[in-house]
Amino acid sequence: MTDEADKVDKVDEPAVATVIVDDDALPVSTGNDAELREAVGAKPAPTRAASDHDPVHDDDHPDAPVHKRSRAVFAAGFVLIGALLIGALVLLGHLNADRYEIVCAPDEIRAETGRAFPPWGMRERTGPEWKAIAIPPDAECTAADAQTETGLTTMFLGLLVERADKALLARDATQAEVAAVQLQQALLLTRSDARRDERKTIERMLGDVEYWRAAGKLAAARALLLDAAKQFEAANTAVPRHVKDAFARATYARQVADDLQAGSDSSHAGSGAAVAEHPGAPLGVALPVEPRAPSPGAGSNLAMPLSDAGVPPSGVLL
């Protein structure tokens, strides 16, 4: 019985196969997953392309390639240098824009200010109030710098008034027109309330301009009277057939021209006496010319004698 039970137990035990492995027949592992798969006959693992957000290939990842990190540092440095350069240009432009100068040229005086953008330097101010002041070649001029735009306005305004004053002192109608242009330009620089007193001075000088304009018209009228007197004299020399007062009219025209000249001279030479006779007139205002008293036996200076009675004033017989 014991022998039969042992046989039954031996039949029920599973058979264990013993495999002897030859170490020399196994492939040497190199740590490469692809080689291991090839050795065992498995399919190769699918490859995955590196995406833009792969932390291994991200420039911000500490394990990123060295050349990519170098390019990032270079770009950052380039941007920083560019920002500093632009800031320096803006600062220099701001400082240069605060420069104000009076520049003397051979034939004009200009007001200039600094440029805020390259190329730096100075540029002439624009606008009718900043028009260059024309000067003769021998005029004095001194270049100057101003700290502010208000200072530049004060300096340029003073030069305008000074040139206009010199033109008015020439006592000439042509120069008065030059002064009028400069004074009108000066008015554009005195629009603010702070320059009200300067504006009043300019307006008084414009009164001088009107005076010399009127004096110029009187001078032109006197020239016309003298020219008419010459024509009357030429007519009298030819002994006209129908008129007989050519000589009288020539004499009258010359007399009126002399009166205009005498009135013009007395307005300058006797201005003190004229003001004393008219205490209510302000200084610098032209006074009317007093008519001269007729000389004894000469009749009125303004009455034009007629040589022939019955001759019409036109001098034409009908």
pLDDT at site 306: 45
CB 271 within 8 A of CB 297: no
pLDDT at site 13: 52
The DSSP H or E segment spanning 165 is helix 149-169
Instruction: Name residues of the chain where pLDDT drops below 50.
Output: 8, 11, 19, 21, 50-51, 55-57, 270-318
User: What is the rounded CA–CA span in Å between residue 227 and residue 231?
Assistant: 6
Parallel, antiparallel, or unpaired for β 108-114 and 122-124? antiparallel
State residue 82 phi and psi, 5-degree precision.
-65, -40
Token pair 């046989």: residue: 7
Parallel, antiparallel, or unpaired for β 133-134 and 108-114? antiparallel
Three-state DSSP at 21 gives: coil
Calculate the CA dihedral of residues 12, 16, 17, 19 and round it to 10 degrees. 180
pLDDT at site 311: 42
pLDDT at site 23: 52
Paired tokens of 140: 């004095």
Q: Residue 4, Cα to own-chain centre: how many angstroms?
A: 131
pTM for the structure as a whole: 0.56
What single DSSP character describes residue 45?
P
Three-state DSSP at 113 gives: strand
Q: Residue 98, Cα to own-chain centre: how many angstroms?
A: 14
pLDDT at site 181: 96
User: What is the rounded CA–CA span in Å between residue 177 and residue 122?
Assistant: 32
Domain ranges, ordered by start, for the chain: 100-212, 214-277
Amino acid occupying residue 14: P
CB 236 within 8 A of CB 246: yes
Amino acid occupying residue 56: V
CB 311 within 8 A of CB 245: yes
Q: Residue 126, Cα to own-chain centre: how many angstroms?
A: 2
Write b or e for each residue in 153-171: b if 16 or more Cβ atoms lie within 10 A of its Cβ, otherwise e.
Answer: bebbbebbbebbeebbeee
pLDDT at site 69: 73
Sign, CA dihedral 270-272-273-274, equals positive
pLDDT at site 293: 44
